[in-house]
Structure 1
Amino acid sequence: MAVGLLSTSASLGEIHCALQPELPTQPTPLEAAVGPVLSPGARRAYAEVLKLRIPAAGQLLAAEPASAPGTLLVADCADFVALMISQDAGRYEAAIAAQDARLAMLEKIPASAVRDYTQAEIRLHQAVSQLVFNHELRGAWNLRQTVGLLQTAAYRYPSFIPLRKSLGMCQFGIGSLPEGYHWLLKILGLNSSVEEGLQNLTLAATRPHDFQTESRIVLALIQETYYKRPADAVALMESLRHEQPDNLLFSYLVISLNKRQHHTDDALAAYRARPTGPAYLPVAYLHHMAADLLLYQGDYRGSEAENQQFLREYRGQHYRKDAAFKLYLVAWLSGQPAATVERYRQQINLAGPLILEEDIYAQRFYHDALPLNLTLTRARFQTDGGYYQLALSTLHKFEPSSSTPTREQLELLYRRARVWQGLLRTDSARLDYLRTVRLAAALGRPPYYFAPQAALQLGYLAQTAGQRAAAKTYFEQALAYPKHEYKNSTDQKAKLALREL
């Protein structure tokens, strides 16, 4: 993000003061009498948006009053979902223009809880769109204004629960950002509490309103991703998919969660049972996820086909390097001709952003030209897939010697620890994680992710065992490692774990 794009006529202090939200002196009288956000027709359209059936949502909205806040909100949700899933830069300018037009229409409507909520939601969509499509400063500025609108509206209408969903998302997202972004947050006057964000999201998830399901999903994903509580999230998504088997979003979430929990067979079953057809928004990223799942199973041809389909259909720039890296891996692991392997390797280096950690890892592999070990690579994907006994058998075939490269020495210990953890052999996992950390220290802490991740896992194990002091030490150790492949996500998880302690 470029600080130089800020107006040179204003000092940072003036910018900070200008961005502080002005709260009303008193809540608006009768604020508890606020009705629902959506009309019955708009509610049906919103349900179609959640199913990723965007054309059907548009047809339903055509029968609704065009200037009603609920109509404007659902229409914006539909455009925003289509833009985010397609990642098509060609849609960006039109989406921003449509958002500006909707915001202008809302300015003509008297202030109310529904009007103010709709206004904040559309601004939030716009800010996220700007951040994703490389208008970082504009997006950050817009986000600051959005937070101000949400804070003011939540103060003015304290019983209007939908506001708590959006405010909670912003508070948690801003409060959990890695240290590297704190300078920008300070400039923009953004300072949010993770704890307040969770409280607001919990309130929104447990009270009935038009967006309760969305609130439940967001809260469950946060608990699964950052607090290592996957069971409730998986159960919720499976329940939602059972209730709505025609909902592609719910199927997507079941696939994604099972993949992250190393339940490859369940994830692939959900992928093959997902609803399909022209009524649904194309979700190219599903093929990229399926390619990973098939790679874990050792179905290299299937994985190659899915990633090729992903690259053909996807309109965005992210994950392309990662897909090329996976294509290289399946060609190499399956013994394809050297020319094919090299073609996929060169594809990693094609132009593309280096923002997501997966793409950064792939590009680093290309530039460093480090040779991968076939046995350890197979074990890695077997472990990622949850095939722990198979991975353990594969690791037993690896015999290190005095000439074994540093990276492979560390990887062996780390992979074995992951397998022990997957097999619920906690003591063995802890021992190999400790060995990983100690070997990395003896080697001068080389810039690989094995030791930082080992420290993070040691923190989780200590936390689960009620050893708070040890957990704190390990989480701080995970944060202390210098730049490595997964530093942003590792630091974010360690930071939130420390707050939870």
Structure 2
Amino acid sequence: MIKKLALVFFLFLGTSLKSKANFDFNDNCINAYQAIFDLRLNDARELIQKEKNQNPNNGITILLDNYIDYFTLLTTEKKSDYERLKNLKSGRLDALENQDKNSPYYLFAQAEVYLQWGMLKSRFQDYFSSGLDIKKADNLLDENAKKYPSFLPNKKSSGLIDVILGSIPSNIKGILSTFGFKGNVDNGIKTLEYLSTALPKTSYGFYKDEVVFFLCYIETDLVHNKASYSKIIGLTNSMDNTSLLKAYLQGYVSARNAKNDSAIAYLLKRPKGSAYTDFPTVNYLLGNAKLNRMDSDANVYLINYLKDYKGINYVKDAYLKLAYYYYLRGDNNRYNAFIKMVKSQGDTYDEKDKQALKEANDAAPDMNLLKARLYFDGGYYPKALAQLNGKGADDFRLQRDQIELYYRLGRIYDELGRDADAVNNYQRAINLGKSTTYYFAANAALLTGDIYAHRNDKAKAAYFYKQAIAMKNHEYENSIETKAKDGLKNIGY
């Protein structure tokens, strides 16, 4: 009888131990995580459910559910999905707080939920709440680092936050620092680069794709260092070839670095099939890249984007690009039809959409300037220059086009390394456009400042940065002013 009671006791004890709250990043969870980063979200959901059935108290499944929502919103950008899914955040945090407090994942998983929603809220223009969530994540990660200093996943997220908080525009950084918002972009990048090589040698190697994901956007959108292109593409090569996210990142980084042919090649060979989540932005990128190359099928991808996309960004810009596609082919009826769509469809959350609406309300572009602009955006600098060869201000009727001529020549010469020609044309753009609402003159001043900063001529660099700041009431004013102020700071002014 005693033996039977003891057996029952130990069986009960074993069952209760198995059902105890825990964090177990086991094979089911790792496979689900990798499926998420392939953008096979339905496969990931099935694997997560399998783990819930087998280990209902594994807290990692709560975190993975949040990853699913994070990537769902990144790929669809649907406002209705955002409003619906953000309500799940508090319940997940409550559930995580009931997990194993003695695990390094306990505080880390809560921080991840806050961080992911902080980034999503920023994308959907909810900036104040975004800042609070990111700061909460930072505090939790700091606390966790004190308890588990060698827990590498912690460094992944703290490195990202270091970059996010360090890249706050200088005009509001001072205000936010009083609330504890402090970061360092260089330190954050160094941490993430270290992890990209250190993680694969550990049991946390599955996190490498996420680190690469962060570095792609940081190096491309925040640092704008074209010298990093080969390094970033090299990092993405380590991702699995079945990953749709890999193809997208390679296409995105290539497009942003004016490697247009590479962008098209990466995006065209992306993995396809019902296993992958819908990602209409891939077609938006392809349509733009093909338009830059003057491909005859550019319109197909832009139309598919507009047909499939239900989100908040780039709708106006896509309609504008379609208008320009037909304008370049002399089809003025379709050009005018799509210009009307720019005015009536989409939102103006993103700067590209604001600019698209402004262009739609302005006179039609000059054909040569439009071709030069598209070739330039694709990195086809000799073709862009050939489009403007022999042109002078007298060849253009509109002041807008006269300013853009010199601005565009300045940009082309800048990229070709012909600094003297670039500065001369930038100065002409400044002289003609400093009192207009077009961004050409202000950005010309900013870019001239960059040229002199690279030469270590701090006095001239400061002069042009201050010129860029002094120009008001033009397109991209906040962005240009912030970059100019950062330029002044970098040269010690």
**TM-score bracket, shorter-length normalisation:** 0.7 to 0.9
Letter matched to residue 34 of structure 2: A
Aligned with residue 42 of structure 1, among 16, 24, 29: 29
Q: Distance in 1 between matches of 2:315 and 2:482?
A: 24
Task: Identify the residue that residue 267 of structure 1 maps to in structure 2.
Answer: 263
Task: Identify the residue that residue 109 of structure 1 maps to in structure 2.
Answer: 99
Task: Identify the residue that residue 391 of structure 2 maps to in structure 1.
Answer: 398
The 5 A counterparts of 1:415-454 are 415-441=408-434, 445-454=435-444
CA 1:402–1:63 in structure 2 vs 1: closer, same or farther (change >3 Å)? Answer: closer
Letter matched to residue 47 of structure 1: Q
CA 1:370–1:174 in structure 2 vs 1: closer, same or farther (change >3 Å)? Answer: farther
Partner SS, residue 407 of structure 1: helix
- CA deviation string 1:74-114 (max 9, x = no partner): 22112210122111233234422333332111111243421
What is the CA distance between 1:258 and its match in structure 2? 1.3
Aligned with residue 157 of structure 1, among 148, 168, 173: 148
TM-score by length of 1: 0.83
Q: Distance in 2 between matches of 1:266 and 1:399?
A: 33
Partner SS, residue 391 of structure 2: coil
Q: Distance in 1 between matches of 2:167 and 2:270?
A: 33
Q: How many residues align?
A: 461
Are 2:45 and 1:58 aligned? yes
**Is the contact between residue 423 and residue 448 of structure 2 (CA under 8 Å) also seen in structure 1?**
yes
Task: Identify the residue that residue 78 of structure 2 maps to in structure 1.
Answer: 88
Aligned with residue 278 of structure 2, among 265, 278, 282: 282
Letter matched to residue 404 of structure 1: R
Deviates more, 1:179-188 or 1:286-295: 179-188
TM-score by length of 2: 0.84
Are 2:171 and 1:177 aligned? no
Task: Identify the residue that residue 362 of structure 1 maps to in structure 2.
Answer: 356
**Is the contact between residue 127 and residue 138 of structure 1 (CA under 8 Å) also seen in structure 2?**
yes
**Is the contact between residue 369 and residue 405 of structure 2 (CA under 8 Å) also seen in structure 1?**
yes
What is the CA distance between 1:70 and its match in structure 2? 2.5
- CA deviation string 1:446-465 (max 9, x = no partner): 22221222223223323333
What is the CA distance between 1:119 and its match in structure 2? 0.4
Q: Distance in 2 between matches of 1:491 and 1:365?
A: 22
What is the CA distance between 1:483 and its match in structure 2? 3.7
Q: Distance in 2 between matches of 1:341 and 1:466?
A: 46
Aligned with residue 412 of structure 1, among 381, 405, 410: 405
What is the CA distance between 1:202 and its match in structure 2? 4.4
**Is the contact between residue 55 and residue 279 of structure 1 (CA under 8 Å) also seen in structure 2?**
yes
What is the CA distance between 1:149 and its match in structure 2? 2.2
Aligned with residue 144 of structure 1, among 111, 117, 135: 135
Identity of aligned residues (%): 27
- CA deviation string 1:160-192 (max 9, x = no partner): 232222223223223323356559847965344
Q: Distance in 1 between matches of 2:186 and 2:332?
A: 54
Partner SS, residue 447 of structure 1: coil
Q: Distance in 1 between matches of 2:346 and 2:67?
A: 28
Aligned with residue 339 of structure 2, among 340, 345, 356: 345
CA 1:417–1:36 in structure 2 vs 1: closer, same or farther (change >3 Å)? Answer: farther
- CA deviation string 1:338-372 (max 9, x = no partner): 2x2222111112254322110010122234x2342
Task: Identify the residue that residue 385 of structure 1 maps to in structure 2.
Answer: 378
CA 1:394–1:402 in structure 2 vs 1: closer, same or farther (change >3 Å)? Answer: closer
CA 1:388–1:454 in structure 2 vs 1: closer, same or farther (change >3 Å)? Answer: same
Partner SS, residue 207 of structure 1: helix
Partner SS, residue 276 of structure 1: coil
**Is the contact between residue 176 and residue 496 of structure 1 (CA under 8 Å) also seen in structure 2?**
no
Are 2:298 and 1:311 aligned? no
**Is the contact between residue 379 and residue 391 of structure 1 (CA under 8 Å) also seen in structure 2?**
yes
CA 1:194–1:386 in structure 2 vs 1: closer, same or farther (change >3 Å)? Answer: closer
Q: Distance in 2 between matches of 1:244 and 1:197?
A: 25
Q: Distance in 1 between matches of 2:145 and 2:466?
A: 35
The 5 A counterparts of 1:207-222 are 207-208=198-199, 209=204, 210-222=206-218
- CA deviation string 1:268-321 (max 9, x = no partner): 11121111111111110111111111111122x422221111011001021111
Aligned with residue 326 of structure 1, among 321, 332, 336: 321
What is the CA distance between 1:495 and its match in structure 2? 4.5
Task: Identify the residue that residue 26 of structure 1 maps to in structure 2.
Answer: none
**Is the contact between residue 220 and residue 257 of structure 2 (CA under 8 Å) also seen in structure 1?**
no
RMSD of aligned C-alpha atoms?
Answer: 2.9
CA 1:109–1:172 in structure 2 vs 1: closer, same or farther (change >3 Å)? Answer: same
What is the CA distance between 1:159 and its match in structure 2? 2.7
> Unaligned 5+ residue runs, structure 2?
1-21
Letter matched to residue 360 of structure 1: K
Q: Distance in 2 between matches of 1:84 and 1:70?
A: 21
Q: Distance in 1 between matches of 2:141 and 2:239?
A: 32
**Is the contact between residue 317 and residue 353 of structure 2 (CA under 8 Å) also seen in structure 1?**
yes
Greater C-alpha radius of gyration: 2
Partner SS, residue 63 of structure 1: helix
CA 1:187–1:275 in structure 2 vs 1: closer, same or farther (change >3 Å)? Answer: same
> Unaligned 5+ residue runs, structure 1?
1-34
What is the CA distance between 1:225 and its match in structure 2? 3.3
Aligned with residue 132 of structure 1, among 118, 123, 126: 123
- CA deviation string 1:358-393 (max 9, x = no partner): 0010122234x2342121111111111122222112
Q: Distance in 1 between matches of 2:188 and 2:24?
A: 22
What is the CA distance between 1:125 and its match in structure 2? 1.8
Partner SS, residue 126 of structure 1: helix
What is the CA distance between 1:484 and its match in structure 2? 2.7
Partner SS, residue 298 of structure 1: coil
CA 1:194–1:423 in structure 2 vs 1: closer, same or farther (change >3 Å)? Answer: closer
CA 1:470–1:219 in structure 2 vs 1: closer, same or farther (change >3 Å)? Answer: farther
Partner SS, residue 262 of structure 1: coil
What is the CA distance between 1:68 and its match in structure 2? 2.3
Letter matched to residue 60 of structure 1: L
